[in-house]
Structure formats: structure tokens, C-alpha cells
A and B are shown apart, each in its own frame.
Chain A
Amino acid sequence: MTKPVELPQGTLEMLILKAVSLGPLHGYGVLLRIQQISGERLEILQGSFYTAIYRLESRGWIKGEWSVSENNRRARFYSLTAAGRRQLKAETAKWIDMAAVVAGILDKKADET
């Protein structure tokens, strides 16, 4: 198994938006999907996870609706709102930009100036 990765501050919300953008999910489902996509390398604390969900919902980026899950259980399913879609797009662009800049600096070899 590969080494687990710790999430930088603030990235969890972005990942939740991404997971929900792939289709409506209940809270636990969002968690599982993120872990699954990451190849089980992300260890997400359940406590901070719901805090992030609540915050995203109160900002109107995701919206929750009660429905019945695949195993016939009542669950609250979250889906991306239009504002959430815009937010995800902006965050993704920002993240890629930042990662490229940081990676560019870190990749610098000693002989290049």
C-alpha cells in the first residue's frame, strides 16, 4: 500500500465539490468516493469532513435533499449547484496554477540559473 497523504488546509472543500460534481452523493458516499479516487491514499477525518459539508451547503455551493439510498435507507444526497460549479472551476484553475508554480520552483536544478 502507498503512503497516505495529508491534505493541505482548505483543499478538502474543493475535493468535496469535485466528488459531488460527478453525481449526487450522500455524505458518507462523498467520503468514500474521495478515498476511492485517491487510491485510498487520503485519510480524511470524519469530524472535519461534515464541517466542510455544512459550510459548503450554507454557502449555497451544494444542496442537500432527502432521498433513498441504494440499500433502501433514507439519506441526504448532495448535488452541485450552479454557484458550486463556478466555484469548483475557479478553485481548480487556481490550484493547477499554484501547483505548477510551486512545482516549477522545486524542480529547479542547481546548474540552471
Chain B
Amino acid sequence: MSLLAATRKLWHSIAPRSHSDVEEEFRSTLDVYQADLIRQGLSEGEARRKARIDLGRPAAQYDTYRDAIGLRLFDELGGDIRYGLRALRRNPGFASVAVLSLALGIGATTAMFSLIYAVLLHPFPYAGADRIMNPHFVLAQHPDQFQWFTLSEAQLDDLRLAAPVESVLGFNNSHMEITGGALPEDIWGVYLTENAETFFGVRPLLGRNIEPSDADNGGRSVVVLNYRFWQSYFGGDPYVIGRTLDIDHAPYTIIGVMPRSFAFSDTTGVGDVYLPGSLLRGVAHDPAPSYLPWIKLRPHVTVAAANAAIEPILRDIMKIRSVASLA
């Protein structure tokens, strides 16, 4: 079929003839046929009757027309929908039960799928999630036991120099208290090294994540909110950026909200708020802050190769007699 013919066909099915147009043509045929019959010797009444029997009713002709050009399906579907709506209106009790069960069904399915999506299909939202390692020691005496370890800022820098390592994130979970409101509220705060934004590669839902400039002047008093905390404490307020949150009697400016999928740290507890790690020294009065490390390997580095390269470094910086291992 040529393009022209296709367009014409489309035009004809979109703009078919009107009801009255089809009926008028049919009536004119009826009249001529009737006149013919009279010429053949029938009485007017007989001719009229025979014409009607042979040709059918003018009112029904439009259905024949719609059927012939293939619009019957739409007509029947439209009729079914109208009938359904009428039935629902006549019977509001049944209608509300039907709508409710549909809503519950859709809701349950959505919730189930969200869970499956989060747990099975897309567990970590981080960029290069398959290259992010959560390192722990395997002690020679107890090879079945893992042991997390913390590193100082200088040790993190040493680790960053290792060949298979692309970047290292340090984090430190702390209990905090929201003050300034009617009642204080306990929350989990997570201090992050200021490369957090590039390490995670997760686009914040609102505002921005913690970035290197937040380390300036001993750490800027800024805070990024976890999605659930934002929902529960701020009711999902879309204008929360720039507002102040009082934590442990000090004001912090809210600079970002993370998306729902961001649940850091997945291993040591999800934080309610995220803060620049440089604050540890000043605000938290910790002269030698320590961080749990996450390591992001360069692409195409095997875990075995990474183990081999990192183990001596960790041995050196930890000065302990154990075997370093990645998991």
C-alpha cells in the first residue's frame, strides 16, 4: 500500500460518513427501488412493503456502514464501557467494593514489586556498585570470623594510592540528637569523607550531596537528609533545602535529600542524616577521627588481584598479624 493510500484509508476511518448521510442515501435508494417496483405493476403499498423487506430499515443502515468499514469493534467496546459505567452508578455499594479491591490489589502488587526490585533486581543504587568492596580482616586464628576495621585519614590516603583502587570512602556512624524542637529526637548521623558525591555517584532527589568544598574551614555545617528521615521529620517538604536543622544544639543547613533507594550504610545501619567528615575533628571533638572504609576498585580488577595488592598495605598500616581480605 502506498503512503497516499494509507493516509486516505486513515482519513476515511477517522472521518467516516455521518449517520444522516448514510441514511439519506439509503432512503433515496429505497425510493427509486419502490418506484421501479410500481412500474413493474405492484401497487404502492405492495411496492413499499417489498422494498422494505428487500433492503431493510433505513435506521439500521448506519450499523451496516460502521460494520463494513471495520468500526464495529470500537462501537461494541464503547457500548460495553457505557454499560459498565451505568451499572457502577446504579450500584454504588458494589462499585466502591470493586474499586477498593482493585486499589488494594494494585497497591499490594506495587509494594511487592518495589520490594523485589529493591532487594533482587537493583539492590545498590551506587555507581559501579559491583566494584565497591566492603573490606574486612580474616584473622588467621579465627578464619570463620570477619572483622571490620577503621582507618585514620592518613591511612585512607595510603589506601587510595594502591594500584587497583579507584577511590576510597570513609564513614563514621554516630548517635545524634535533634534539638531545637519541642522534644529532642535520637537519630543516626553518618559522617562521610567529602568525596561522597563522586564515590556514590547517586543523584540527590533534591539539592546536592556532600562534596570536597564541604571540608573547608574544618567542615561546613551542612547536612544531607536520608529519604525516610525527610519523609518522617519534614513530611517530604519539597522546600526543605536551605532550611536549618539543629543537631546537638548546633545549626546545620540542609543542602540535599537523597533518593529513596539510597540507604547508606547498608552494612552498619542506615543514617538519618549525612554530614561532612571534617566536622568530626571540630564539632565532635575527635582529635584522631577514624573511618570504616569502602573501597571502589578500578574496572576489570579481580578481587584476588585487589586482595594481593591491598593486603601488604593494610598489614603495614595496621601493624597487626592478620590476613586482610575483601568481601
Contact = CB atoms under 8 A, between A and B. Distances in A.
Contacts of A74: 24, 28
Interface in B32-82: 32-33, 54-56, 61, 64-65, 67-70
Given A26-B28, A47-B56, A83 B8 contact: yes
A106 B289 CA distance: 102
A64 B29 CA distance: 14
Interface stretch (A3-11, A16-24, A52-60, A92-100): A52-60
Given A47-B64, A50-B61, A54-B68, A60 B28 contact: no
A75 B69 contact: no
Contacts of B25: 26-27, 64, 75-76
A28 B61 contact: no
Query: Which DSSP category, helix, strand, loop or mixed, fits chain A's interface?
Result: helix
A46 interface: yes
Nearest to A75: B28
B31 A73 contact: yes
Given A28-B33, A83-B8, A50 B26 contact: yes
A51 interface: yes
A90 to B, nearest CB: 12
A19 B222 CA distance: 86
Contact of A58 (B16, B28, B32, B64): B16
B68 to A, nearest CB: 4
B19 to A, nearest CB: 13
Contacts of B260: none
Nearest to A56: B68
B24 to A, nearest CB: 7
B231 interface: no
B67 to A, nearest CB: 7
A50 B64 contact: yes
A55 B29 contact: no
Interface centre among B16, B32, B69 (most CB of A within 10 A): B32
Given A54-B69, A55-B69, A60-B8, A27 B64 contact: no
Q: Which 9 A-B pairs have the closest CB atoms?
A: A54-B68, A58-B69, A60-B8, A76-B25, A51-B68, A28-B29, A58-B12, A46-B55, A28-B32
Interface of B: 4-5, 8-9, 12-13, 16, 24-26, 28-29, 31-33, 54-56, 61, 64-65, 67-70
Given A26-B32, A28-B33, A55-B68, 15 more contacts: A26-B28, A28-B29, A46-B54, A47-B56, A47-B64, A50-B29, A51-B67, A51-B68, A52-B68, A58-B12, A58-B69, A59-B9, A60-B5, A60-B8, A69-B28
15 contacts: A26-B28, A26-B29, A27-B29, A46-B33, A46-B56, A55-B68, A58-B9, A58-B12, A58-B13, A59-B9, A60-B5, A73-B28, A73-B31, A75-B25, A76-B25
